[in-house]
Amino acid sequence: MANLDLTGAKVLIGDGLQDVPLSFAEGVICEERIGHEVDLSGFLIMPGIVDMHGDGFERHLAQRRGAMMHMNEGLVACEAELAANGITTAVLAQFVSWEGGMRGLEFAQKVFTAIKETRTEVVTDLHPQLRFETHLLDLYADLSNMLEEWEVRYVVFNDHLPHDRLDAGKLPRRLNGQALKAGRSPENHLAFMQDLHAQSVDVPSALDWLCPRLLAAGVTMGSHDDATAEDRELWQSRGVTVAEFPETHEAAEAAHVGGSPILMGAPNVVRGGSHNANVSATDLISAGHCTALASDYHYPSPRRAALLLADSGICSLARAWGLISSGPAQVMGWTDRGTLEAGKRADITVLDAQTRRVAATFVQGRVSYMSGAIAERLLA
């Protein structure tokens, strides 16, 4: 663990970049100088990126279908990518879904076990998230026990069943491919989906039973892809406070009015819109209806999105960077990170001032990533 005085750089504190030193010792930012100075002229010192929803780790766990032999090694490789993109805290979002395969219960158990085993071996702070399909009613009774075993404190509810097509008696799109991934015949996979769809009438009361129990256990809960104001209001009434990726202005407005934190995808900002033609994250940010941005499926995007928002004048650099640092930390209840204040964790992302690429990443004062130029100064 390094104890350093970082001098010469511009530091993002308060409302903007300041020409002040930043010191940290024993993993914590401190007001007093430490006495071990490193000149970081030409760099920007930013609060470490807190990514509260990302599933980009999937490609590290299974580069090819069936190639899942060494899951822990895959997470180590993923952690290297997180660190290289300035992410100091990462929430890894894993499905438990009727879709099976990499989204099935058996695979999820392996992922959550691997996260538990690996998180003590890496520098980046890793946390699991469960993305739970609401129609899996058979799992409700034991879900609290599973969460405790997996050490999952954040659950997001999804419903990806193609209800419209099932109602109309049409075959779901990509049925054969989904069945192959799930290890079922197309006929069995369709029958399973139809059975779950038929239970739709029982899902609301089951959620009314489950959500208070998870809330009492201290689990943070979110809903995914809310489409209407009624959707968000219903989730809010159950204590499901986080609105992840609302699909419409209407749902986002309802979340904002109801005091729900709103999480959007950083790739939505970088691309200039949703790849699914949903509401623009940039529009919600402009309206003040976005609390945090997440990597979603692309770990370089949080940094790029924050810089793009600042460069385009949509918001200040301090507010834009807050969407990927203090905002998500606040949503998750992590009061020890997200800003570069004395007493907070020394979670730091260092950018090259010219290229604004990540030059170094520190997590509680430990180096998780370092590029050549900055390494020369730190090791001099």
- Is 89 strand, coil or helix? strand
pLDDT digits over 294-319, tens only?
999 999 999 999 999 999 999 999 99
pLDDT of residue 59: 84
The per-residue pLDDT for range 262-271, each reduced to its tens digit, is 999 999 999 8
Instruction: State how far the Cα of 72 lies from the Cα of 111, in Å rounded to an integer.
Output: 9
Lowest mean pLDDT among 57-61, 66-70, 179-183, 336-340: 66-70
Model pLDDT for residues 142-173, shown as the tens digit of each residue: 999 999 999 999 999 999 999 999 999 999 99
Q: What is the DSSP letter of 48?
A: P
Overall average pLDDT of the 199-203 stretch? 97
Name the pTM for this structure. Answer: 0.95
Tell me, what's the pLDDT at 41? 96
Confidence label for 202 from pLDDT (cuts 50, 70 and 90): very high
- pLDDT for residue 70: 75
Q: What is the mean pLDDT of residues 28-41?
A: 93
Q: Residue 373 — pLDDT band, cuts 50, 70, 90? A: confident
Lowest mean pLDDT among 56-70, 116-130, 321-335, 364-378: 56-70
Burial degree of 105 (CB within 10 A; 0-12, 13-18, 19+): middle
Q: What is the mean pLDDT of residues 118-122?
A: 95
Kindly indicate the confidence band of residue 126, based on its pLDDT and cuts at 50, 70 and 90: very high
Q: What is the tally of helices (H) and strands (E) in the chain? A: 16, 18
Provide CB contacts within 8 A for 25, sequence distance 6+.
Answer: 3, 34, 365
Question: Is residue 182 pLDDT above 90, yes or no?
Answer: no
Confidence bin at 292 (pLDDT 50/70/90): very high
Q: Identify the pLDDT of residue 275.
A: 59
Residue 113 confidence (pLDDT)? 95
pLDDT score at 96? 97
* pLDDT average, residue stretch 278-302: 94
Three-state SS across 152-210?
CCEEEEECCCCHHHHHCCCCCCCHHHHHHHHCCCHHHHHHHHHHHHHCHHHHHHHHHHH
Instruction: Report whether 137 contacts 111 (CB < 8 A).
Output: no
pLDDT over 70 at 100, yes or no: yes
pLDDT tops 60 at residue 12? yes
Task: Tell me: pLDDT of 282 over 60.
Answer: yes
pLDDT of residue 97: 96
- The chain-wide mean pLDDT, for the chain, equals 94
- Mean pLDDT over 213-227 rounds to 96
Domains in the chain: ranges and CATH:
1-47+338-380 (2.30.40.10), 48-336 (3.20.20.140)
The answer on pLDDT for 54 being more than 80 is yes
Task: Tell me the C-alpha distance between 178 and 183, whole Å.
Answer: 9
